[in-house]
């Protein structure tokens, strides 16, 4: 409210204060309310076009508001690492009356209300993390604090159960494929680009793990988790909490460092970097070996040719893959080159001709699907020239390392879908502007 009051003119501050007081303390903001049949209430035959457009725009605004909140945040709290969330009681003020007296003055100055010390102590939200730290948040009233505690507990339980369910599903799929293909633990860890074709084709994927969330954007949070990242080839990996949202990758510090470099336990993850991914290249697998250092090349008498270190994590996941199997790279170019649609189309036709007439295993030699489509609505300027960034010439690369090959594949798939969506959106907007 204080930030809003700064931008409001003086003559309108009284009107703004009156409207602010009419807003209830607790209300629900739900763009998609559900009925008893779990269907969206306003998506029916009785809804008019104007009402539908208004509700759809409101849902669109709410979705982008959440994305803006993530982009502009200074720190985040991982609710899966929270141990307990509870509300303060009236007896808490008896332990330290001076501290709660300061809380009382802060509430009166910020909310412009008169408070009692007992009410202030009941307005405190306590968040206890698994590392033994305690975070206190001060709400405007005890009713608001109670609602926050209730909702935060439900969200905490949801993300904890979802994280456990996702890990169990990955373990189940991994064991099922290993048993189906009769692979040992060492052979399963070496699956990659050089794996035989019959092994890849007979493997099974879980539809709940590889879902359409990245394409449909059912939630602003596409992918999240802990990753190791290094900005240069000769630098070391550092752990970050990484969040993938629409068009951006946001990194947060997992630790606070002292002056001597010692890592301290933290309550929240501080913001480190925001990376726009609309103009980058993504690659993984053996290509990423060029961005990694040649280390850990000691001879293993038990597993010949293996240089990986076995790892066991707290949730039961085990991993023996090497670094190249767990890494992917985002490459940002600095040099640009001229490109046109005519040269791109000619290159695609040449590639298709070589694929069909050469010694390849293509069965269907029919023309590309694009040739059968109706191109009457396309713009006439087929020879438009634009700048594109060259891959591998000069640029900056950022290497990310997951804890296993399976998690790396999830990250690569999610980023790939987002890059494709951004590319199609940009192409559609450019063609729309040219038509108009």
Q: Coil, strand or helix: which one is 73?
A: coil
Instruction: Calculate what percentage of the chain has a pLDDT beyond 70.
Output: 73
Per-residue pLDDT at 157? 95
Q: Coil, strand or helix: which one is 330?
A: strand
**Do 185 and 271 sit in the same domain of this protein?**
no
Per-residue pLDDT at 194? 66
**Do 144 and 249 sit in the same domain of this protein?**
no
Kindly state the helix (H) or strand (E) to which residue 242 belongs, with its residue range. Answer: strand 238-245
- Given a cut of 70, whether residue 267 has pLDDT beyond it is yes
The strand pairing partners of 385, in sequence order, are 340
Q: Is residue 94 part of a domain?
A: yes
**Do 408 and 326 sit in the same domain of this protein?**
yes
How large is the average pLDDT for residues 302-327?
75
Nearest to 257 by CA among 277, 243, 272, 247: 272
- Given a cut of 90, whether residue 202 has pLDDT beyond it is no
Q: What is the pTM of this model?
A: 0.76
- Given a cut of 60, whether residue 401 has pLDDT beyond it is yes
**Do 160 and 271 sit in the same domain of this protein?**
no
Per DSSP, which regions of 13-153 are E strands? Answer: 75-76, 82-87, 124-129, 134-138
- Contacts of 229-236 with C-beta under 8 Å, sequence gap 24+, read 229/398, 229/399, 229/400, 229/401, 230/398, 230/399, 231/396, 231/398, 233/291, 233/292, 233/293, 233/397, 233/399, 234/293
Residue 163 in tokens: 């994280």
- Given a cut of 80, whether residue 363 has pLDDT beyond it is no
Select the highest-mean-pLDDT range: 80-94, 107-121, 385-399.
80-94
Per-residue pLDDT at 352? 37
Q: Is residue 5 part of a domain?
A: no
**Do 115 and 257 sit in the same domain of this protein?**
no
Name every residue whose Cβ is closer than 8 Å to that of residue 149 and which is 6 or more positions away in sequence: 85, 86, 87, 125
CB of 419 closer than 8 Å to CB of 246: no
**Do 275 and 395 sit in the same domain of this protein?**
yes
Q: Is residue 10 part of a domain?
A: no
Domain span at residue 194 reads: 75-210
Per-residue pLDDT at 362? 34
Weakest mean pLDDT among 39-48, 162-171, 262-271, 365-374? 365-374
**Do 389 and 272 sit in the same domain of this protein?**
yes
For the stretch 128-169, pLDDT in tens is 999 889 999 988 888 899 999 999 999 999 999 999 999 899
Per-residue pLDDT at 4? 35
In this prediction, residue 339 has a pLDDT band, given cuts at 50, 70 and 90, of low
The strand pairing partners of 351, in sequence order, are none
Instruction: Compare 283 and 201 and report the one with higher pLDDT.
Output: 283
Backbone angles phi, psi at 122, to 5 degrees: -80, -10
**Do 151 and 187 sit in the same domain of this protein?**
yes
**Do 155 and 98 sit in the same domain of this protein?**
yes
Per-residue pLDDT at 386? 53
Per-residue pLDDT at 428? 67
Per-residue pLDDT at 368? 40
User: How many other CB atoms sit within 10 Å of the CB of residue 294?
Assistant: 7
In angstroms, the CA 137 to CA 118 distance is 16
**Do 281 and 402 sit in the same domain of this protein?**
yes
Instruction: Compare 106 and 346 and report the one with higher pLDDT.
Output: 106
- Given a cut of 60, whether residue 201 has pLDDT beyond it is yes
In angstroms, the CA 67 to CA 246 distance is 7
For the stretch 78-107, pLDDT in tens is 999 999 999 988 888 877 878 888 888 888
Instruction: Compare 225 and 391 and report the one with higher pLDDT.
Output: 225
Per-residue pLDDT at 307? 59
Per-residue pLDDT at 97? 79
Q: From 149, 175, 210, give the residue that closes a domain.
A: 210
- Contacts of 55-61 with C-beta under 8 Å, sequence gap 24+, read 55/31, 58/31, 59/31, 59/32
Q: From 210, 230, 252, give the residue that closes a domain.
A: 210
Mode of pairing for the β-strands spanning 269-276 and 281-284: unpaired
**Do 241 and 192 sit in the same domain of this protein?**
no
Nearest to 243 by CA among 67, 421, 64, 425: 67
How large is the average pLDDT for residues 305-309?
62
How large is the average pLDDT for residues 301-328?
74
In angstroms, the CA 75 to CA 261 distance is 21
Number of domains in the chain: 2
In this prediction, residue 349 has a pLDDT band, given cuts at 50, 70 and 90, of very low
In angstroms, the CA 101 to CA 285 distance is 59
Q: From 163, 192, 210, give the residue that closes a domain.
A: 210
Per-residue pLDDT at 394? 66
- Given a cut of 90, whether residue 387 has pLDDT beyond it is no
Average pLDDT, the chain: 77
Instruction: Compare 339 and 252 and report the one with higher pLDDT.
Output: 252
What's the CATH code of the domain at 269? Answer: 2.30.29.30
Nearest to 31 by CA among 51, 50, 58: 58
Per-position DSSP letters for 211-241, written without gaps between them:
-SHHHHTSSS--EEEEEEEESSTTSPPEEEE
């Amino acid at each position: 409210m204080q930030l809003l009051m700064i931008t409001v003119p003086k003559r309108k501050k009284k009107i703004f204060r009156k409207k602010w007081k009419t807003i209830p303390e607790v209300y629900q903001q739900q763009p998609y309310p559900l009925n008893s049949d779990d269907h969206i209430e306003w998506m029916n035959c009785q809804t008019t076009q104007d009402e539908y457009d208004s509700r759809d725009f409101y849902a669109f605004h709410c979705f982008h508001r959440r994305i803006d909140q993530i982009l502009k945040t200074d720190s985040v709290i991982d609710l899966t690492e929270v141990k307990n969330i509870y509300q303060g009681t009236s007896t808490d003020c008896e332990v330290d009356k001076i501290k709660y007296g300061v809380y009382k003055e802060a509430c009166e100055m910020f909310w412009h209300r008169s408070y009692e010390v007992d009410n202030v102590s009941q307005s405190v939200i306590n968040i206890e993390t698994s590392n033994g730290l305690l975070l206190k948040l001060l709400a405007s009233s005890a009713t608001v604090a109670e609602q926050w505690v209730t909702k935060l507990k439900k969200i905490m339980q949801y993300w904890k159960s979802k994280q456990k369910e996702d890990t169990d599903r990955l373990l189940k799929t991994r064991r099922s494929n290993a048993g189906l293909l009769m692979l040992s633990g060492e052979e399963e860890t070496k699956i990659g680009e050089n794996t035989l074709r019959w092994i890849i084709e007979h493997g099974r994927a879980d539809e709940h793990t590889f879902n359409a969330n990245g394409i449909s954007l059912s939630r602003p949070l596409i992918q999240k988790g802990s990753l190791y990242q290094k900005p240069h080839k000769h630098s070391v990996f550092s752990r970050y909490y990484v969040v993938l949202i629409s068009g951006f990758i946001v990194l947060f510090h997992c630790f606070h460092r002292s002056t001597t470099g010692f890592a301290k336990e933290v309550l929240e993850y501080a913001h480190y970097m925001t990376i726009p991914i609309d103009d980058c290249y993504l690659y993984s697998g053996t290509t990423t070996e060029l961005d990694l250092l040649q280390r850990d090349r000691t001879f293993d008498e038990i597993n010949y040719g293996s240089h990986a270190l076995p790892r066991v994590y707290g949730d039961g996941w085990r991993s023996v893959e090497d670094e190249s199997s767990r890494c992917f790279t985002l490459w940002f170019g600095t040099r640009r080159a001229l490109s046109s649609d005519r040269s791109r189309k000619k290159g695609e036709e040449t590639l298709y001709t070589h694929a069909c007439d050469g010694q390849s295993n293509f069965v269907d030699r029919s023309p590309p699907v694009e040739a059968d489509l109706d191109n009457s609505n396309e713009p006439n300027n087929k020879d438009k020239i634009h700048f594109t960034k060259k891959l591998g010439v000069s640029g900056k690369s950022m290497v990310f390392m997951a804890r296993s090959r399976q998690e790396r594949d999830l990250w690569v798939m999610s980023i790939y879908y987002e890059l494709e969506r951004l590319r199609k959106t940009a192409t559609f907007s450019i063609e729309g502007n040219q038509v108009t």
